[in-house]
């Protein structure tokens, strides 16, 4: 029996994807080799690489105005590459602080050039997403950086600012492909794979081609977006197995009704858990404010540390994995990414309701 996997990342993968990968593990499509053994210059791997790019473009409706790159180093390396490639001496990088990952992105940009905090919810323990109307964009802004979903605090942007003459960049590591977005609204989107796209090891970057003119030859070769765009993400050996699994996840998503179809399921999963919280008479207390609640990471606390420990122990006995909250927030967290089945959330909701009835004060 498979566990009910609510880990925040690396996180659940679709069972169908794992089964295909298992079947093809030692003999990929009659090659007599695993995907992990194929040359990244071979026609067999090239088909895998192009399949992943094509499916991603189709699912997100990405136009030819954008490059799709498969990079390494996780989203954390993008915190550095973005200002290195896009921030000049005469411009300012703007950041909206909504949690730990946006703080880390800001800290890296400070090492490269001038920065400005356009808005922050830190003073409110990151319980909400700042209003678009409250954003203060600096003069000479190179870009505005946002983190679309905050895994630790359980908050998520429901709409994005419409900007004139300022590039909008989003770290979508934890909610990419979970709901429909207009890619044309962004100059760049990036996402580590290990939450909604596949296993850890590959990072997807969707970048407007016109921005590549900012990537100068003075940059280190591997930290230059143009290097990877010019070589179709094959300048050096890519994480081939991670990209292969990414292609399988994208195929699974396409066969599951695409982004629109998975969004309906995600809404249902989130509604199940938030209903448990809202109707528990304060027994389960959400961290995020109502209008900023994440549909990917449901965060909540219980009335006492003793009850929290009891909840987690009993949950583990029932097969629920990964429900501990982040150490900076405490409490509990259920990460319900695309691959977490509806059944897992239904079973968790039943457990939460039963636990509340048994332990309400």
As given in the structure block, the two tokens for residue 14 are 């679709």
As given in the structure block, the two tokens for residue 53 are 């790019």
Angle at 119 between CA 180 and CA 219, to 5 degrees: 80
Closest to 148 (Cα-Cα) out of 94, 190, 119, 107: 190
Cα separation, 266 vs 338, whole angstroms: 7
H helices of 206-304, where? 225-230, 240-255, 258-278
Within 10 angstroms of residue 315's Cβ, the number of other Cβ atoms is 22
Determine the angle formed by the axes of helices 240-255 and 15-24, rounding to 10 degrees. Answer: 130
Angle at 21 between CA 20 and CA 23, to 5 degrees: 65
Closest to 171 (Cα-Cα) out of 99, 115, 65: 99
Q: Which of 53, 157, 171, 175 is catalytic?
A: 171
For the question of residue 195 being annotated catalytic, the response is yes
For the question of residue 171 being annotated catalytic, the response is yes
Q: Which of 53, 157, 175, 195 is catalytic?
A: 195
Site of tokens 């796209």: 197
As given in the structure block, the two tokens for residue 110 are 């400070």
Residues marked active site are found at 101, 171, 195
């Amino acid at each position: 029996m498979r566990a009910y996997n609510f880990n925040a990342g690396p996180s659940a993968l679709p069972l169908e994807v794992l089964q295909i990968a298992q079947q093809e593990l030692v003999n990929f499509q009659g090659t007599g080799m695993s995907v992990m053994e194929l040359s990244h210059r071979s026609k067999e791997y090239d088909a895998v690489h192009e399949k992943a790019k094509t499916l991603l473009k189709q699912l997100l409706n990405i136009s030819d105005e954008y490059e799709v790159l498969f990079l390494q180093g996780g989203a954390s390396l993008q915190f550095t590459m973005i200002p290195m490639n896009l921030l000049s001496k005469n411009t300012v990088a703007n950041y909206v602080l909504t949690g730990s990952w946006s703080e880390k992105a800001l800290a890296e940009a400070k090492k490269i050039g001038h920065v400005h905090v356009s808005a922050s919810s830190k003073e409110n323990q990151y319980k909400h997403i700042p209003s678009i109307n409250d954003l203060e964009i600096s003069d000479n802004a190179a870009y505005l950086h946002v983190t679309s979903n905050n895994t630790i605090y359980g908050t998520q942007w429901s709409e994005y600012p419409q900007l004139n003459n300022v590039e909008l960049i989003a770290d979508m590591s934890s909610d990419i492909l979970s709901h429909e977005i207009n890619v044309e609204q962004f100059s760049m989107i990036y996402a580590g794979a290990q939450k909604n796209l596949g296993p850890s090891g590959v990072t997807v970057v969707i970048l407007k081609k016109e921005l590549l003119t900012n990537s100068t030859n003075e940059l280190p070769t591997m930290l230059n977006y143009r290097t990877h765009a010019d070589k179709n993400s094959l300048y050096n050996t890519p994480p081939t197995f991670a990209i292969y699994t990414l292609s399988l996840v994208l195929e699974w998503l396409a066969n599951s009704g695409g982004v629109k179809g998975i969004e309906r399921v995600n809404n249902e999963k989130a509604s199940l858990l938030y209903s448990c919280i809202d109707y528990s008479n304060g027994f389960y207390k959400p961290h995020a404010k109502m209008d900023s609640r994440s549909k990917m990471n449901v965060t909540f606390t219980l009335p006492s540390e003793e009850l929290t420990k009891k909840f987690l122990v009993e949950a583990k006995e029932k097969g629920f994995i990964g429900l501990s909250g982040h150490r900076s927030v405490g409490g509990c967290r259920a990460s319900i990414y695309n691959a977490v089945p509806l059944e897992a959330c239904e079973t968790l909701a039943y457990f939460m309701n039963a636990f509340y009835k048994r332990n309400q004060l």
